[in-house]
């Protein structure tokens, strides 16, 4: 399907309208002392987060985190040494990676949770012989 000039102009107008509603990154740096990525936005807000929370940054060395590029529109952050990217509007919503990556993070946190109810359930399950074995389906 060919893209016409009117399609292109409509898309550009839509992009400009959307970009006016979103804060833009104007500077970004990694603070080694605090172990935080700090992003300054054009509306005066500063956002900071620990890299361990973000997909692609969670196991990075401080030297790799130090080089951050901002996309021309100010809506993206790129770490060239890690080949990692984050979308600024998503960061503002607390989204630090893809849906599947975020789900794995939440699932891992839930698996590490400790509570008296969880301990009691595990103890009761142990009395019954433990977790049932998985049965291979044909």
Say if 54 falls within a structural domain.
yes
- How many CB atoms are closer than 10 A to CB 41? 19
Say if 85 falls within a structural domain.
yes
Mean pLDDT throughout 58-76?
Answer: 94
Find the Cα–Cα–Cα–Cα dihedral 55, 59, 60, 65, rounded to 10°: 50
Domain total for the chain? Answer: 1
CA distance 42 to 37: 17
CATH of the domain at 92: 3.30.2020.40
Q: Which of 2-6, 26-30, 106-110 has the highest mean pLDDT?
A: 26-30
Average pLDDT of the residues of the chain: 86
pLDDT band for position 108 (cuts 50, 70, 90) = low
Residue 29: give the domain boundaries. 24-100
Say if 13 falls within a structural domain.
no
């Amino acid at each position: 399907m060919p893209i016409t000039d009117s399609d292109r102009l409509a898309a550009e107008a839509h992009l400009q309208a959307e970009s006016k509603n979103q804060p833009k990154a104007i500077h970004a740096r990694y603070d080694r002392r605090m172990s935080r990525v700090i992003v300054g936005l054009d509306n005066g807000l500063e956002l900071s987060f620990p890299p361990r929370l973000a997909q692609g940054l969670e196991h990075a060395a401080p030297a790799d985190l130090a080089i951050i590029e901002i996309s021309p529109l100010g809506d993206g952050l790129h770490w060239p040494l890690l080949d990692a990217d984050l979308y600024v509007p998503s960061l503002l919503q607390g989204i630090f990676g893809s849906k599947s990556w975020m789900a794995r993070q939440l699932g891992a946190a839930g698996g590490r949770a400790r509570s008296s109810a969880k301990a009691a359930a595990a103890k009761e399950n142990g009395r019954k012989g433990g977790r049932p074995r998985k049965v291979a389906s044909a």
